[in-house]
Structure 1
Amino acid sequence: MTKANAQSNDSQIKEYSTKKTLEQVITQQWEVNDLIFKTNKKIKDPFDKEVIAEVINPQLIVQKIPLFYNGNGEWIFRFSSSDVGKSTYKIVAPHLSFDGRKGEVIVQKNTKVDRHGSVVLKEEYPQHFFYEDGKHYFNLAFECDWLFALDYGKEELSKTKHLLKVLNDYKYNQVVMNVYSYDVKWKKDPKLGNHQEFEYGGREDIYPFLGSNSSPNYSSLNVDFFQHLDQVILEMHDHEIVSHLMIYVWNKGVNWPDMNTEADNLYYDYVIKRYQAFPNVVWDVSKEALLYGRATNEYISERIERTKALDAYNRLISVHDYGFCKRHPDEVDFISMQNWERALYQKMIDAKNEFKNKPIFNIEHGGYEEAPFQVFPGAYTNSEACLRRNYECIFAGGYTTYYWQGASWNVVIHNPFEQGEEFEKPHFDYFKHMANLFEKFNFENFEPLSWFNSSGYNLTNKKDGVVMMYTPKECQWIGVSKVIKQFDASEAKQLWFNTLTGEYSEEEPYNTAPFDFWYERPWKGEADVILIVKGLKEQKVN
């Protein structure tokens, strides 16, 4: 193979044009490579052609990876791997000139410090997410449905890059996004009229099929649309941000083809073929999959089965519909929740107890932090109230998603911290503090012992000897004695964590007085805090 355009820039897919001789491609673990096979003959219905790369990895396991049509007579074999060593491949493409082409890929050990592979599950920690290299994945998501649209039609993804860098800096490691959305159906803030540079809804020049959303042509796909999406997801990969890719959305004005038609299947299959090689992809069949009467349980189940049949990389899959996940838990890899109820913590605990072998991920909990424009207020807009609901998800042992009205839907302010003082800024820093806390104290080793809750919420880490209790800023006292009785606390230390600033109080010996209501906790009335007791040991049995 002759390397045509192997870029050194991390945010470029390595591209290789092919010839008949057998040569090597050299790459690193989890890098994305495009091997391009071209025919000069005009092919009828090229998107329908089944073209496969039969890959044999160093462990002699066969992987059948579908190629996808990229226009202009090009089929792309998109490849990434966690397996260090030599893999060989053979192209199976009946009636195409490159049928039978062979090659080798040498995969070297990853050298990118913050790259850890795709998100996977571990049998010994069934309710947590991990990377392929074994590191825990603290799934901290950010909703940005219109991310695909920020720089559409432009060579430089300047807005996309800026926003992703900001998210990366603040420790968000997942974006919940749509492959495509058209526009919202609710009313828009009149103030937005003077700031159309942040409006991405209703654009007729963006559509995954030929034609436009208003005048669709379902006969074929718009390759330009997907080539742009490639660059967006690749840029996310460069920033080590997972694309939680919702393939459909029903309430954003999209003119979809009818269910199970050739056009519907063509679109769905193409998404799976084109994006499965990205290690930073997690599948979601549809946002709010069963809320709007368009889809059925049977249809969603068939889409999941379809995904698993096509996806040679076995990326994780779920459905943004708790009812479906409850009825079909064996079909999804993790349980997706959407719950606005006041008793959010208890609902998360109930889900964790019901599905003991799967992670619980609350994608949408009704907290949509306010922005310069009112986009969708939901149930909670105050920044501290939104933060508290995210902590309720975390202290129930689940994972969570943060929404800011300035970026979650059709309005995307990609550079909020470069705006003037009149623009209300998002509190991204609150979530950076959260991520830092649970990276320091190993979230994967904690369990919510809800029966030990007092005036707050408990997480207990028996492995590392740490107990946490979350308490609202209005609360004077929080008791942990019921939990600490499980341990030898003779050498334990306690400290407090400020959820708004990320500050820790000074460490001091654990306070053993069980009813010391007069003990002044720090930051009372200023911030929700977390009491951390560490240095706990197993009780010695006499």
Structure 2
Amino acid sequence: MPLSYGQIKIWKTKKEKQQIHTPQWGVNDIIFKSKRKVNDPLKKEIYALVKGEGENTQKIPLFYNGNNEWVFRYSSAVEGVKTYVLTSELKEFEGKKGQITVTKNEKEGRHGGVVLHKDNPQHFFYEDGKHYFNMAFECDWLFALDYGKEDLPKTKHLLNVLEDYQFNQVVMNVYSYDVKWKKDPKLADFPEFEYGGREDIYPFLGSNSQPDFSTLNLEFFQHFDQVISEMHDKEIVSHLMIYVWNKMVNWPEMNSASDNLYYDYVIKRYQAFPNIIWDVSKEALLYGRATEEYINERIDRARNLDAYNRLISVHDFGFCKRNKEKVDFISMQNWQHTLYQNMLQARNDFKEKPVFNIEHGGYEESPFRVFPGAYINAEACLRRNYQCLFAGGYTTYYWQGASWNVVIHNPFEQPAHFKKPHFEYFKHMRTLFEHYNFENFVPLSHHNSSGFNLTNKKDGVVMMYTPKENQWIGVHKVLKKNFDYSKAQQQWFNTLTGEYSEKENYNTEPFDFWYERPWKGEADVILIISNLKSNSVN
């Protein structure tokens, strides 16, 4: 299958010393071709030792890509001249050298990989220091949309939609086969939206039903390159779940040579993409297949191979709780009605790591009943996302029409009677918190009153989230204790429309129950008190 690498730049090595120029965070494939056939090429260990002035040496693994070609995939967050030399068990590659000049990034909206910040450890940041507001969308079967095609029309369309609505992360699987739960009979009339059970897609040779674990299906990964590349081009992070146990995948035995080959290959092939976050497995310990020891070994394995130190976690809150030193952030899955309290407790328990609720039981309804979970009403799902945020954590949005085996890649081009996703709710959410610097807010839950509090002493802003049924929200105590509010202003934010009310002077009556808040009974709203002077700095 012909391969289009998108924005990956391809370099063929013909000279002894290759001269390469690339911008920061650009992805480059430097190809080394063997003159002879090599037995078991996927098992050969070849590394590029990369060194820049004043930098530690990176030991970056090459991966085999078929046709006697090995790929040195490289990106850099640091400008300057780098030199590399290969160390290889194949003699013809041993000692091969090259030079890479990394120039300043000029691409608008590109900020590098997602990292942690020691001075603000409960939030995500980009490598250039900008806060990363983790606005995630689940799409497990993204890999399958255009499989077998030279171009990616469906994938590109869906990613364009997600980009337009400001989602900047997709929670996804490397591979899933099918779902075990009952499928909506209406799907039979819309086979173009069904991606489960396809026998022509498999990361090993053979098929999911008749696997050949002796080696990998390189065409699968060549296609996957294009998907990750398109995401990188749109600055959308791939939260990549390397395994999934409940999607009927025929995996090789744990710790077998085939299992290790697959896992190591994923780490080798995708670590150079700045838009990668690793997740060992979806619901890692929920189905009895994997052990805690195995997941720990997989984390160590990834860290030993990943020369870029991409963030890694495990979609299992129990594992993260028991092994907090092994993960970079705490992953949660919580459907309980006490979601806010549970998120708040996790934030208080893990003061040195971000908390990310990947699955909170809210799966907004679509034209097909795919997996209803606990909540399907769009406003109820939105409210649960805001509860995660107002507890100081991060969150994920699910739409039943795209999160699992059913993927409607062009929902807004469907007939009027099709239920459309409310992506706009989340665009409003991200716009709000990008403007008001989410990374500077702290949930002061003792000041919640009848809503939910976030307080930003650094910027002088207090937010109070209140459900649409709420008559009154008390904010006076938090202001009196923490701020000089003599010049404070207030306005309201409509979570459904993104509208703001007019700014006005803060209403100083602490118990004015007769003060009418806008959009009462119509939408959940956020009261924003700004122009505050802090008595102290967080």
- Same topology, TM > 0.5: yes
| Structure 2 match to 1:3 | none
**Map of 1:306 onto structure 2:** 301
2:238 to 243, 246, 250: 243
Q: Please state whether the residue corresponding to 1:387 is helix, strand or coil.
A: helix
Retained in 1: the 8 A contact 2:402–2:408?
A: yes
CA contact (8 A) 2:428 2:498 kept: yes
**Change over 3 Å in CA distance of 1:60–1:467 after alignment to 2:** closer
Q: Is 2:170–2:236's contact at 8 Å kept on the other side of the alignment?
A: yes
Which string of whole-angstrom CA distances, capped at 9 and with x for unpartnered residues, describes residues 342-398 of structure 1?
Answer: 000000000000000000000000000000000000000000000000000000000
Letter in 1 for 2:526: I
Counterpart of 1:496 in structure 2: which amino acid? W
Q: Within the alignment, does 1:116 sit opposite 2:111 as a pair?
A: yes
Please state whether the residue corresponding to 1:23 is helix, strand or coil. Answer: strand
1:265-305 per-position Cα deviation (integer Å, ceiling 9, x unaligned)? 00000000000000000000000000000000000000000
Structure 2 residue identity aligned to 1:256: W
Q: How does 1:96-115 map to 2 (within 5 A)?
A: 96-115=91-110
**Aligned equivalents of 2:120 and 2:486: distance in 1?**
30
The one of 494, 501, 522 aligned to 1:498: 494
Letter in 2 for 1:400: T
Q: Does 1:287 align with 2:282?
A: yes
Give the match's secondary structure for 1:130: strand
Separation in 1, partners of 2:52, 2:166: 34
Match of 1:4 in 2: none
Contact persistence 1:58–1:84 (CA under 8 A): no
Give ranges in structure 1 of 5+ residues lacking alignment.
Answer: 1-6
Specify the alignment match of 1:85 in structure 2: 80
Q: Does 1:425 align with 2:444?
A: no
Listed as ranges, the gaps of 5+ residues in structure 2 are: none
Shift of 1:482: 1.0
Q: Distance in 1 between matches of 2:340 and 2:21?
A: 48
Secondary structure (helix, strand or coil) at the match of 1:380 reads: coil
Asked whether the 8 Å contact 1:144–1:175 carries over to 2, the reply is: yes
**What residue number does 1:527 align with?**
523
Match of 2:533 in 1: 537
TM-score calculated relative to the size of structure 2? 0.98
CA distance in 2, matches of 1:217, 1:69: 18
Compare 437-446 and 38-47 and name the one that shifted more.
38-47
Tell me the equivalent position of 2:484.
Answer: 488
Supply the distance in 2 between the matched residues of 1:98 and 1:346 (Cα, whole angstroms).
57
Inter-partner Cα distance in structure 2 for 1:27 and 1:461? 39
Could you tell me which of 199, 204, 213 is aligned with 1:209?
Answer: 204
Q: 2:30 aligns with which of 26, 31, 35?
A: 35
Match of 2:132 in 1: 137
- 1:180 and 2:175 aligned: yes
Q: Normalized against structure 1, the TM-score is what?
A: 0.97
Tell me the secondary structure at the aligned position of residue 320 of structure 1: coil
Deviation at residue 539 of structure 1 after TM alignment: 4.0
Alignment size in residue pairs = 534
Identity of aligned residues (%): 73
CA distance in structure 2 between the partners assigned to 1:315 and 1:241 by the alignment:
15
8 A contact 1:493–1:507 mirrored in 2:
yes
Question: In the aligned structure 1, how far is the partner of 2:52 from the partner of 2:306?
Answer: 16
Structure 2 Cα separation of the partners of residues 267 and 301 of structure 1: 17
What is the Cα deviation at residue 40 of structure 1? 2.4
SS, match of residue 336 in structure 1: strand
Alignment of 1:270-281 (within 5 A): 270-281=265-276
> Over aligned residues, Cα RMSD in angstroms?
1.3
CA distance in 1, matches of 2:96, 2:428: 51
Aligned to 1:218: 213
Cα shift readout 1:199-253 (whole Å, capped 9, x = no counterpart):
0000000000000000000000000000000000000000000000000000000
The code of the aligned residue for 1:499 comes to T
Runs of 4+ in 1 over 3 A off after TM superposition: none
Residue matched to 2:398: 403
Mean Cα displacement is larger for which, 40-49 or 90-99? 90-99
1:164 and 2:162 are equivalent in the alignment: no
Picking from 64, 73, 98, the partner of 1:69 is 64
CA distance in structure 2 between the partners assigned to 1:113 and 1:58 by the alignment:
27
Partner of 1:199: 194
Using the TM superposition, name which of 482-491 and 388-397 deviates more.
482-491
> Does residue 123 of structure 2 align to residue 128 of structure 1?
yes
Deviation at 1:94, TM superposition (A): 2.1
CA contact (8 A) 1:489 1:537 kept: yes
User: Aligned to 2:261, what secondary structure does the other structure show?
Assistant: helix
Report Cα offsets for 1:491-529 as digits up to 9, x if no partner. Answer: 000000000000000000001101100000000000000
